[in-house]
Structure 1
């Protein structure tokens, strides 16, 4: 099922692999490679959510670094706005080669420790390919869907056994990660099946499912803190938590998660997840993503209060409080207060001089949360479909001089440090404000990525 691993026969790299002639146990690994069409001048290596090191590209777009590594483990690296995982063990010399125009598909590893990383990326690509066919399978009844899963699971377990038998030197740690990569995406689809089946059937009720459907839960763990940033694992846990919440009697979500659903979900997270860091991460993701999905400045403060009660991460809670205060600072039906923005000729302008008595969507963005490629595609799509609205992207964080290259420079702006808009952008998270041609706020906190945004744009587009 999984494609044969692709090996790079010739690759120009700038590292000599150092072989250790001593019996002394190594406590480091080398990590490097070459980036084709780089999007930035560096590669960042993470363990969980902590930066391990930053490697800068040389004139040939290559990098290399020595990573202190007392124990083996799963890491991930980022370049530009994309990332991927790498498994490192002490003594490894893992080198990668990738083309940013086709990030995941072009990624290959060579060197000591490369084979295990090539099979992980192969698992990732095969799962992405299979996800399309499984969308259609969600229309099947539960027994037939279960048979489809069982067939894929059988093939993947066979692959795992073949790899483990032919690589007896592999550690238990890596074999555990490989088994997760091969099985947990299928378990995640099982957890998502009820809600997707109801969606395709246009049903107000979730399908009735036999208890044996979830037999895999007996050995599929949801409390492994070290894998929380690994998508095959985290997606399964997320789907499981949502499925458990739906099982309390909530109807399938159509547009927004109800405050009761969000509250129940946070209760499930608190009950089911024992590791503090994992619990805090899911609580934060839940309260923020549900607010953004709603795409409205209307707040249900009880939901946020429950989050503050359950989370023990003070840094996260400060961020969420800033988000709350920012939301309250710009209210629908009020007049937008004036503030300054700068264009890329460094001219300072009143926001009303930019809007020019037109219906407008102001999109405040930070490169920490949204990629330039997404901004370009989204702005183009919205501009084509809502011709009676002007779309104004305003960069609020990061290097203000770096704009979205693909967009017209005349339509882009950045926020100066002394702008009054900073008062309602303290959390630095993306935010849309919809304003009619009279300067009245129609929506004070919309999300550029939410499907619910279109409802507001349809109304604003008709304002003459």
Structure 2
């Protein structure tokens, strides 16, 4: 047990609670939130709700913080430590503390105090779902009936865990809704994703072979849940759900039989379905924006950009997102093949500032990596893939650039921890500006440039089966 943390919690509690016998009464409907962060990524914590920053709280000399919620609506909040986000359920009269180590962010997260049981249970469900992901991917290759049977077993395992918790604890309606939604929407997500990750046949044939009641839960979906609008299982479900609905709709009036997320007609179907089924402006706008950005990052046709952007402007009511999408379209127009790579400043392992153009002396692949936990597998995978391709194609230079606001020392430590060499490694002088200028999203995109620094492909993917053909073309250019 970490006694320092316990003493800290007690000290904070005493300072805020005038009556130790009745902490709930002393908070008078407000809520206390605090914590301790080991190996902090920054010196502050950002607290958000509905994608809006409520406050920033600085860590003290012991990497601890405390915060009081006043006159607030109970529900899901998020905290951000500079690199990672996590959700937390805050209810009236909660006095909630957490402790985490950023090296194992989610796995180390433990809550203490009033509200601890509910939040620890939700984190356990989150970790259990991560643990079961490989199993779900494996069973997704089974026939529909067998897949459904195995998936039901996984869901029932979670439901039993939830039932047992409720029998031992007095729970609130909000908690019950969140816990049930985490179980249900992860289950729904797997069923919606099934046609996209099953490799037996094309998607149209898979749809035709699904049992009649395979998507029977769809009649109960709440597309406008105020409580769940920022809940990861719900948001993830909506994304794949509309991919699925749009594809089924697209097959009805096209000659396509396979999924092509770069198809303009398919994306128009998706935008129309989102607009028709969702009335909550926050959920609708965010889902439209997510798909707009995804299309821009995937498509290579300028005219298609403009067509879908015009539709996006008609259907979205979020001016900030419209401006961002318009900027991204203009960015990719500047990143057309044949144009010169934008000049950004990078920093090498000797802390020297260099123009990115100066380090390009032969045909080059520029790839990127991020230290955030959600990209932890990408960090290793992309470096190992680059090393493999570099040996195979010595005529091509492979350059890695970190996109975070970190020092050269931090960059070296991260690479060392992952047993990766500090060779041809850089980071940006101004990461935020560079990421925007080069449209580095998703993180797995790579630039192929010729020896003069001219763009050959601004949207390469090292893991694409056609990538080596692009390398051969780059060598022969």
Relative to the length of structure 1, the TM-score reads 0.83
How far off is 1:41 after superposition?
Answer: 1.9
Counterpart Cα distance in 2 of 1:119 and 1:276 = 31
* 1:212 positional shift: 1.6
Q: Which secondary structure does the structure 1 equivalent of 2:214 belong to?
A: helix
1:128 to 127, 130, 139: 130
1:205 aligns with 2:205: yes
CA deviation map 1:169-223 (0-9, x unaligned): x2211211111112221111111122223x2446663242233222222323222
Shift, 1:440, TM fit: 3.2
Residues 278-307 of structure 1, C-alpha deviations (whole Å, 9 max, x = no match):
11101111111233244x475522122222
Contact 2:274 2:284 in 1 (8 A): yes
Give how far 1:53 is off. Answer: 2.1
Whether the 8 Å CA contact 1:436–1:463 is kept in 2: the answer is: no
Instruction: Give me the whole-angstrom Cα distance separating, in 1, the residues matched to 2:285 and 2:308.
Output: 15
Query: Which SS does the other structure have where 1:226 is aligned?
Result: coil
8 Å Cα contact 1:225/1:277 also seen in 2: no
Partners in 1 of 2:469 and 2:405 — Cα distance? 29
1:288 is paired with a residue of what secondary structure? helix
Q: 1:355 aligns with which of 357, 360, 368?
A: 360
- The 5-angstrom pairing of residues 243-282 of structure 1 reads 243-250=244-251, 256-282=261-287
Q: Which runs of 5+ in 2 are unaligned?
A: 416-421
Q: More displaced, 347-356 or 141-150?
A: 347-356
Taking the TM superposition and a 5 Å limit, the aligned residue runs for 1:223-302 are 223-250=224-251, 256-294=261-299, 296=300, 300=304, 301-302=306-307
Deviation, 1:117, is: 0.3
Q: Give SS of 2:46's match.
A: strand
Taking CA–CA contacts closer than 8 Å with sequence separation of 6 or more, which of the two structures ends up with the larger relative contact order? 1
Partner of residue 418, structure 2? none
Return the alpha-carbon distance in structure 1 between the equivalents of residues 146 and 189 of structure 2. Answer: 17
Does the CA contact (< 8 Å) of 1:361 and 1:434 recur in 2? yes
Provide closer, same or farther for how the CA distance between residues 47 and 362 of structure 1 changes in structure 2, counting only shifts above 3 A. same
Match of 1:144 in 2: 146
Distance 1:422 1:237, change over 3 A: closer
Q: Which residue of 1 aligns with 2:5?
A: 12
User: By percentage of residues, which structure has more helix?
Assistant: 2
Aligned to 1:329: 334
Distance in 1 of aligned mates of 2:314 and 2:27: 46
Q: Tell me by how many angstroms 1:374 deviates.
A: 5.3
- Superposed counterparts of 1:56-67, under 5 Å: 56-67=58-69
Query: What is the rounded CA distance, in whole Å, between the counterparts of 2:167 and 2:187 in structure 1?
Result: 23
Q: RMSD between aligned alpha carbons?
A: 3.6
Match of 1:39 in 2: 41
Report how far residue 442 of structure 1 moved.
Answer: 0.5
Contact kept? 2:370, 2:402, Cα under 8 Å: yes
Tell me by how many angstroms 1:37 deviates: 2.2
Structure 2 residue 428 is matched with structure 1 residue 414: yes
Please tell me whether the aligned partners of residues 296 and 329 of structure 2 are also in contact (alpha carbons under 8 angstroms). Answer: no
* Cα gap change, 1:461 to 1:66, in 2 (>3 Å): same
In structure 2, do the counterparts of structure 1 residues 32 and 359 end up closer, same or farther at CA, with 3 Å as the change threshold?
same
